[in-house]
Structure 1
Amino acid sequence: MNVLLLQEQLKQALIEDVGFGDRTTEAVVPAEQWVSGMVVAKEEGIMAGLSVFEQVMKLVDPRVEIEPVVKEGQCVKPGLPLLRVHGPARAILTGERVALNYVQRLSGIATQTRRAVDIVKPYGVKIADTRKTTPGLRMLEKYAVAVGGGINHRLRLDDAVLIKDNHIQAAGGIREAVRRVREKMGHTVFIEVETETLEQVQEAVALGVHGILLDNMTVAQLKEAVALIPPSIVSEASGNMRLEHLEEVAQTGVQVISIGWLTHSAPALDISLNLDGSVKKMKGETP
């Protein structure tokens, strides 16, 4: 991940949530009070975002100490401790919601990704994400997909060329769209074409593009399409790829299955922070 960009995103999230101060915490909790606590999983899933939790807390107050109990990408069970946290009570309570939001969101994505990856693994198929991400969270959400064992599709529009149906419509056809791309782009740019029919697949193969996206095809159509695509061209199935359909799609021989809902609809993993009630006064402070 881009560390500088991540820091800015986390700062903005805290600014959004804290505003000019945590009124409740500042009224209830003495400035000198220190506490310890534990972040705990409340359901089974794949852990992602441990370092993000720590960075959020450190931005609120660098004195907060975080001790991971599990590893990134580990499968956790309900009740399992994930992190130990210790430090100024005000800082921990102020940063709690933002830190947990990130961990819950990223762990939810990693969990669903791992489920998809496990289904298609016997067939040598890779699970990829899409650009259907939450605005401002793409880098982190795609990171969570990778933690879950998936691969990342384009991070941004400048990563590669993906000629979709509307591009084809605007250009007047696949051949013309590919011609225009090659005229303006260097030879190192990856070119993928979205197709909806077998005729389009044949055309894309003849043009020698690097990847062919097979959009919203039936299993029978996918099998026919894969038979037309040489191994040197990446074959990617996409469109309404639900967990219950993944195995039969993987059996068609496609190399990649891209899934939009991994990042736009994966449910957050239920995770909470519980303070244990222990109190420690800051050095130099008097009760």
Structure 2
Amino acid sequence: MSERPPRSIDVARRAGVSRATVSHILNGQGGRFSPETLQRVRRAAEDLGYVPSSAGRSLVKGRSDLVMIVFPFMTMTDLQDIVDVLSEGLAEHGFNTIVQLSGPVGSEAHLRLRHVADSLRPAGIIDLGGLTRKDHEEFRRLGLPVVGTAVDSRGAGSDLALGRVQAEHLVARGFRQVAYASLTDERGHPFDQGRAEATRAVCAENGLPEPYLFGVPLDADGATNALAAMLKSIPAPVGIACFNDDVALAVLHATRTLGLDVPCTIGVLGMGKGPLGQLAEPRLSTVWGDMRPMLVALLDALLMEFGGADRITEVDFASLRVEQGETT
């Protein structure tokens, strides 16, 4: 028969205190106890390998210790990096994370996500584009703090900054006709609006025509047809700012199929500095930068709801830069 895991009563007996004292101290409520008592209880818990349960912490604090991170149903190559940054920051304040992927509005996946949030009642939600403004409002009515792209300018700001860096680079490389290529598939892409808006602004500032906006699927025939249709609508040369490196690689494939010169006839600029783009021939030009400040700002915004942060980290997108390849 396996040995049972240690319980709070075992810690209490070892430290010579009550179970209530153990509960208060190990759940962050030990301010009224002496340093000696705090040390004795923590040492006893460590010696026994005792970890307070999530349910117990929730009862003591009056709320869950879970924070839900919601991702949109879309292509994201840096999902793990984003989760690591947010999880580490939340763990420092005693929170655990649960990651949920949303789906198109009205889909089963989207409705299921709302049901999960309603059932778990997490301490808060960090939305990276998977929820609508209506979702935010409904969750707040349930008493769940929500921060994220639908209501928070920090998320939208990153899209505007990325779009501006892409468009300004293409203009600086001499392109007088600019296009923006989004990803066409069944997934939602909440970041396109900010990128397209920034591209329009840069074109207007430089006295250029309205940018051509079009979708590119991640398949050979679809990408080729999309690029051919673009060239029937606007004259070459064209500098194309792409939603991400995957879209940029699809556009590159289409240029080869159509026999177009890169970068003289078609300039291609990705986003993300993925490894495949840097191995491509020609090597992909792409925009990249440290997104950590934006994530930390969202984290601060949520922690302020619980008194865990007294200010929101200022987001500076100066780290965004172009990795110059051979496609622009």
TM-score band by shorter chain is 0.3 to 0.5
Question: Rg bigger for which structure?
Answer: 2
Higher-RCO chain (CA-CA 8 Å, sequence separation at least 6): 1
TM-score, normalization by structure 2: 0.31
